[in-house]
């Protein structure tokens, strides 16, 4: 372990911060094509029905409109099955989509697309398209999806590209089962049993920048796609499959991105703009409206969790049975992997349970489509488990904090769940190398005033206060799945070009990865010219998901920088005429530790370029993770419940997180606070409202409520550093874990205040008031 760091652990300003603040950085919709290459503007016609077959589509009147250039629909496009999930290959999601289908499966499914000279003409032309539908009986209730008489949503030709349970005759998009020990005996040995049903709801990512993409051909006839994507290399591969161009003929560029959170892990728009550009040899642009993002992009998967625990009077959980039912919506994007994470990221936290059964099923319905969303299944699982733990501790009459510390996983320990359950396949056996959860609990408890406020029910008129806690672990990439690469070259002035496939979606990963390279090479971040996420110019990376960037991409950068360091020392040895083992990198120079003689990187660069044995100092490296060290978090909520109205106000929220060595503490805090506020908003307000025909009623920010700065509670983030020996300079992930605790921490705090349990989020005033009144 390194004792002293130069760039690591410093809150260095993001390298793109000034450009973002002044509006100089470009987002996808900022790119334009003046002159002869006038853009075609695209608009999509969506289904008004939840489930129907298109009997006839007539585009004649639309085609006659001035400015309409092309119209696409199922009748003039190829039927190529794919998944929009930007994951590894083959994707662990069912191939159940085509670009345009004769059957529509939810209100908001694609029917046709117009390409026109202006956005106004494109939208107006949609109204001129005549579509005749034969409506089918829709399915909205996921609890009924597996019934033999339920409507069957998908066709016989759709399939899962990896070995996995997939049965469209039962509307079953995915199924996961693991079992350890003897569950029946465990429950028979228990002194008491706690059994509850929990559920979490639909939610939108609410990113500032909506989905957008542009496609055009360059001067050499290659297709260029500029896209607000988290997964440029996956977008290139999937687009290649759908439009029939070789991967080598396609270049995907990711500019700056205004937020992702999983929403842009989907390959939704890239194939559409590509197809129009190919058909018309003109640039094409598609930018979704906010309503389109809500309805027709992707959401968090709703999930129902039945959780049954058998407990001994000494606190031992002798049996745990978890039954998770997840709503995929109309298509199965991430249906298997999100479901698996509800078990794989959750159950190992309490690893002393010997008898475990986990059954998860994802089903199709005629509602909007779920996808990747920050937390990715762990959020749904922890919403149930953390409440159950609080209930157990209260029944035992012991402090839940001490209960957690006694039964949680610790350093040097493992869980059979790690090996049994991964993301879409068996997992990887691993042990915990770093865990400061106990310190997180202690410091978080102090910050919230746990022992001064717990069970005190401090009242101010109709308002009563309570505190609650939740704990969680996550992961750092997907072991034996995720791979990242980096390339560095040195310039003659001692600066460096750092090329990384990793995708900065506003998280600051460009800065973090430059800090890692700078630590190895002993130079500041401003010595690096960083280019990321261009499939022509940067090496492969799976993309920004699974909390992988700092750990997986960071390790690739570290290895690459070490190769550069070796080459620099090799050149310096010739200039200083000494043994290489006496040379070290020191503040942008190479120094002889015996003589204290030194030479600058600039001198080394000029020598390598222009003098004896001329060559380019350069290196590439890849990292393929074989384990996924989890970060840990303890989150505490103090709430105030108005017993007259049911209104719940979060007074203070504390998050104490162990993310290994924090590469950039301010950016780490920002990630935790952003995820936490996202989770608080989800716990209290956010939800999709539908009419009886499956149409979303609140697809705008006026009716879909999210937290703003005005709603911000007092928030405190505490970085509790450990050192993860497998991570770059001790780092683990931090981006997702903060969203996992707000639902259960707030639910537990509500109970502490008014002794009512809320098992189904969001915790709206109506739900809370009903519970309070029923208690009376």
CA–CA separation, 642 vs 768, rounded Å? 9
- pLDDT for 440 beyond 90: yes
Sign of CA pseudo-dihedral 18, 24, 30, 32: negative
Do 115 and 225 lie in one domain? The reply is: yes
Q: What tokens appear for 190 in the block?
A: 């228990």
551-585 burial: b if 16+ Cβ within 10 Å, else e:
bbbbbbbbbbbebbbebbbebbbebbebeeeebeb
Contact 373, 205 (CB under 8 A): yes
- Strand 172-180 versus strand 356-364 pairing type: antiparallel
567, 597, 624 — which closes off a domain? 624
Contact 100, 44 (CB under 8 A): no
| 618 bridge partner residues | 489
Q: Is the peptide bond before 90 cis (omega within 30 degrees of 0)?
A: yes
Residue 1: the pLDDT is 65
As for how many domains the chain has, the answer is 3
Do 122 and 259 lie in one domain? The reply is: yes
Residue 700: the pLDDT is 97
- Tell me the per-residue pLDDT of 253-280, one tens digit each, with 9 for 90 and over: 999 999 999 999 999 999 999 999 999 9
Residue 4: the pLDDT is 87
Do 350 and 377 lie in one domain? The reply is: yes
Percent of the chain with pLDDT over 70: 99
581, 603, 624 — which closes off a domain? 624
- pLDDT for 152 beyond 70: yes
- Secondary structure (3-state) at 643: coil
Do 597 and 637 lie in one domain? The reply is: no
Question: What phi, psi does 726 have (nearest 5°)?
Answer: -90, -10
- pLDDT for 34 beyond 70: no
Averaged over 661-673, what is the pLDDT?
A: 97
564, 591, 624 — which closes off a domain? 624
Do 665 and 593 lie in one domain? The reply is: no
Count Cβ atoms within 10 A of the Cβ of residue 460 and give its class: 0-12 exposed, 13-18 middle, 19 or more buried: exposed
- pLDDT for 776 beyond 90: no
Residue 57 domain-assigned? yes
Do 104 and 232 lie in one domain? The reply is: yes
Residue 446: the pLDDT is 98
- pLDDT for 36 beyond 80: no
Distance of CA 343 to the CA centre of its chain: 17
Residue 775: the pLDDT is 83
Residue 692 domain-assigned? yes
Percent of the chain with pLDDT over 90: 96
- pLDDT for 532 beyond 70: yes
**Domain containing residue 258:** 31-136+211-287
Mean of per-residue pLDDT scores for the chain? 97
Residue 1 domain-assigned? no
Averaged over 603-608, what is the pLDDT?
A: 97
Residue 653: the pLDDT is 98
CA–CA separation, 229 vs 86, rounded Å? 9
Do 218 and 339 lie in one domain? The reply is: no
Do 638 and 618 lie in one domain? The reply is: no
Q: What tokens appear for 755 in the block?
A: 């002794």
Averaged over 53-68, what is the pLDDT?
A: 98
Beta strands in 659-746 (DSSP E): 714-719
CA–CA separation, 382 vs 683, rounded Å? 13
Averaged over 497-522, what is the pLDDT?
A: 97
Q: What tokens appear for 448 in the block?
A: 């919230």
Averaged over 462-474, what is the pLDDT?
A: 98
Q: Nearest to residue 113, comparing CAs of 153, 145, 75?
A: 75
Residue 231 domain-assigned? yes
CA–CA separation, 385 vs 534, rounded Å? 41
Residue 729 domain-assigned? yes
- Secondary structure (3-state) at 761: coil
Residue 35: the pLDDT is 58
In order, the DSSP letters of 560-622 are: HHHHHHHHHHHHHHHHHTS-GGGEEE-SSEEEETTT--EEEHHHHHHHHHHSTT----EEEEE
Do 372 and 468 lie in one domain? The reply is: yes
Residue 511 domain-assigned? yes
CA–CA separation, 579 vs 687, rounded Å? 66
Quote the radius of gyration of the chain (alpha carbons, Å): 27
Longest dimension (CA), the chain: 89
Residue 612: the pLDDT is 81
- pLDDT for 679 beyond 90: yes
- pLDDT for 245 beyond 60: yes
CA–CA separation, 634 vs 657, rounded Å? 7
CATH number at residue 130: 3.90.1170.50
Do 307 and 426 lie in one domain? The reply is: yes
Contact 116, 68 (CB under 8 A): yes
Do 106 and 255 lie in one domain? The reply is: yes
Residue 613: the pLDDT is 83
Count Cβ atoms within 10 A of the Cβ of residue 123 and give its class: 0-12 exposed, 13-18 middle, 19 or more buried: middle
- Tell me the per-residue pLDDT of 157-204, one tens digit each, with 9 for 90 and over: 999 999 999 999 999 999 999 999 999 999 999 999 999 999 999 999
pLDDT band, residue 156 (cuts 50/70/90) = confident
Residue 297 domain-assigned? no
Do 705 and 654 lie in one domain? The reply is: yes
Contact 753, 772 (CB under 8 A): no
Residue 689 domain-assigned? yes
CATH number at residue 592: 3.30.365.10
């Amino acid at each position: 372990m390194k004792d002293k760091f130069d760039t690591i652990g410093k809150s260095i300003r993001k390298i793109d911060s000034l450009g973002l603040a002044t509006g100089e950085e470009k987002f996808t919709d900022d790119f334009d094509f003046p002159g002869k290459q006038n853009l075609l503007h695209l608009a999509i016609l969506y289904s008004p029905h939840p489930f129907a077959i298109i009997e006839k589509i007539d585009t004649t009147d639309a085609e006659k409109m001035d400015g309409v250039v092309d119209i696409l629909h199922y009748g003039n496009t190829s039927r190529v099955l794919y998944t929009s999930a930007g994951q590894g290959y083959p994707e662990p999601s069912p191939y159940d989509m085509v670009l345009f289908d004769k059957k529509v499966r939810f209100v908001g499914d694609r029917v046709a697309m117009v390409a026109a000279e202006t956005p106004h003409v494109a939208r107006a032309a949609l109204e001129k398209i005549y579509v005749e539908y034969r409506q089918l009986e829709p399915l909205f209730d996921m609890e009924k999806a597996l019934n033999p008489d339920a409507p069957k949503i998908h066709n016989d030709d759709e399939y899962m590209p990896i070995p996995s349970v997939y049965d469209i005759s039962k509307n079953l998009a995915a199924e996961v089962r693991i079992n350890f020990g003897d569950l029946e005996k465990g429950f028979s040995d228990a002194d008491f049993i706690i059994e509850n049903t929990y559920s979490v709801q639909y939610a939108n990512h609410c990113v500032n920048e909506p989905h957008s993409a542009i496609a055009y051909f360059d001067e050499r006839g290659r297709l260029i796609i500029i896209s607000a994507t988290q997964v440029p290399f996956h977008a290139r591969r999937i687009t290649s499959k759908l439009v029939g161009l070789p991967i080598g003929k396609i270049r995907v560029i990711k500019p700056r991105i205004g937020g992702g959170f999983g929403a842009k892990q989907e390959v939704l728009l890239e194939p559409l703009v590509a197809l129009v550009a190919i058909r018309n040899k003109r640039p094409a642009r598609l930018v979704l409206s906010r309503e389109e993002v809500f309805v027709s992009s992707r959401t968090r998967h709703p999930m129902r969790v039945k959780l049954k625990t058998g407990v001994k009077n000494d606190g031992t959980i002798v049996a745990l049975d978890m039954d998770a039912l997840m709503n995929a919506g109309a298509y199965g994007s991430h249906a298997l992997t999100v479901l698996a994470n509800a078990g794989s990221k959750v159950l190992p936290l309490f690893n002393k349970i010997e008898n475990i059964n986990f059954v998860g099923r994802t089903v199709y319905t005629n509602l909007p489509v779920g996808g990747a969303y920050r937390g990715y299944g762990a959020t749904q699982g922890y919403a149930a488990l953390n409440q159950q733990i609080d209930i157990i501790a209260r029944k035992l009459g012991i402090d839940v904090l001490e209960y957690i510390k006694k039964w949680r996983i610790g350093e040097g320990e493992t869980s059979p769940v790690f090996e049994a359950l991964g993301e879409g396949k068996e997992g990887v056996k691993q042990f915990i190398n770093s865990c400061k959860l106990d310190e997180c609990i202690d410091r978080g408890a102090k910050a919230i005033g746990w022992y001064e406020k717990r069970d005190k029910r401090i009242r101010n008129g109709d308002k009563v206060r309570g505190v609650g806690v939740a704990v969680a672990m996550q992961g750092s990439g997907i072991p034996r799945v995720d791979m990242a690469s980096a390339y560095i070259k040195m310039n003659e002035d001692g600066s460096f070009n750092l090329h990384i496939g990793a995708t900065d979606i506003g998280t600051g990963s460009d800065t973090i990865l430059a800090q890692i390279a700078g630590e190895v090479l002993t130079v500041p971040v401003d010595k690096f010219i960083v280019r990321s996420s261009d499939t022509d110019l940067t090496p492969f990376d799976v993309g920004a998901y699974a909390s992988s960037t700092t750990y997986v991409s960071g390790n690739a950068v570290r290895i690459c920088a070490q190769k550069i360091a070796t080459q620099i020392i090799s050149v310096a040895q010739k200039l200083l005429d000494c043994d290489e083992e006496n040379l070290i990198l020191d503040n942008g120079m190479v120094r002889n530790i015996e003589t204290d003689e030194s030479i600058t990187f600039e001198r080394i660069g000029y020598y390598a370029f222009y003098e004896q044995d001329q060559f380019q100092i350069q290196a590439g490296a890849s990292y393929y993770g074989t384990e996924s060290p989890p970060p840990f978090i303890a989150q505490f909520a103090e709430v105030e419940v108005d017993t007259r109205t049911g209104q719940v106000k979060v007074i203070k929220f504390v998050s104490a997180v162990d993310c290994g060595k924090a590469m950039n503490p301010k950016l780490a805090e920002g990630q935790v606070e952003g995820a936490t506020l996202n989770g608080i908003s989800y716990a209290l307000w956010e939800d999709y409202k539908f009419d009886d025909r499956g149409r979303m009623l609140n697809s705008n920010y006026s009716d879909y409520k999210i937290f703003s700065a005005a709603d911000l509670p007092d928030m405190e983030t505490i970085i509790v550093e450990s050192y993860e020996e497998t991570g770059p300079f001790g780092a683990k992930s931090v981006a997702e874990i903060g969203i996992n605790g707000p639902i259960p921490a707030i639910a537990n705090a509500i109970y502490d205040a008014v002794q009512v349990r809320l098992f189904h989020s969001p915790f709206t005033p109506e739900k809370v008031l009903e519970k309070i009144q029923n208690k009376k």
